[in-house]
């Protein structure tokens, strides 16, 4: 009796942990938010940045293993040892490919292109701030964990860059955690 109960609990736990993501996978609209840490880089000046903050919100449509998405992004990093900051805000159109499998974990890769505004600011009195518009692009690799048919937790790496914005190109590497809701 005890042995049967233990076996039943072990089997139920295995089903809960691995699940059948294929059965949960839903096509249709989704929305979500993500946030994390970013490390900005400046290609034209020899500038070191402290780790900063990044966040965003997105809406999209899932079609089989493919997803199309609109995303708003914000990033902010302070210059190491100075009262200067670099901020990026942008709107991106992204495409993703989900590597579906028999577990609740779904690895994915994606790329995006869009508009970005790079803003350089200072807390020093009398110092001007400046901003530049640029074409933005990104590459993404991550994994989603389906909690249930509607909610998915995500963890991802993102490389973000711009074409030349004024005298420099903005680039960053980010680690993000997020949540996605499928309607």
pLDDT single digits (tens) 31-51: 999 999 999 886 556 677 788
DSSP string covering 26-81: --EEEEEEEEEEEEEEESSS---B--EEEEEEEEEEEETTEEEEEEEEEEEEEBTT
* pLDDT at residue 9, as a whole number: 46
Cβ neighbours, 10 Å, residue 121: 16
Structural domains for the chain: 2-182 (2.40.160.20)
Q: pLDDT at position 47, please?
A: 72
Q: Residue 21 in 3-state DSSP? A: helix
Q: What is the pTM assigned to this prediction?
A: 0.79
Q: What is the mean pLDDT of the chain?
A: 83
Tens digits of residue pLDDT in 97-126: 999 988 999 999 999 999 999 887 776 655
Reported confidence tier of residue 6, pLDDT bands at 50, 70, 90: very low
């Amino acid at each position: 009796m005890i042995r049967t109960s233990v076996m039943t609990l072990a089997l139920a736990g295995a089903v809960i942990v691995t699940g059948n993501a294929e059965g949960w996978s839903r096509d249709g609209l989704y929305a979500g938010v993500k946030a994390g840490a970013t490390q900005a880089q400046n290609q034209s000046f020899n500038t070191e940045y402290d780790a900063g903050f990044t966040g965003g919100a997105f809406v999209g449509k899932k079609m089989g293993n493919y997803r199309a998405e609109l995303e708003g992004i914000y990033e902010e990093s302070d210059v190491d040892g100075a009262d200067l900051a670099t901020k990026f805000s942008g709107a991106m159109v992204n495409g993703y490919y989900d590597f579906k499998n028999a577990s609740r974990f779904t690895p994915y890769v994606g790329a995006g292109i869009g508009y970005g505004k790079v803003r350089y600011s200072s807390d020093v009195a009398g110092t001007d701030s400046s901003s530049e518009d640029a074409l933005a692009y990104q590459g993404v690799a991550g994994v989603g964990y389906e909690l249930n048919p509607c909610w998915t937790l995500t963890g991802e790496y993102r490389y973000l860059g711009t074409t030349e914005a004024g005298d420099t190109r903005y680039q960053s590497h980010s680690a993000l955690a997020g949540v996605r809701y499928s309607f």
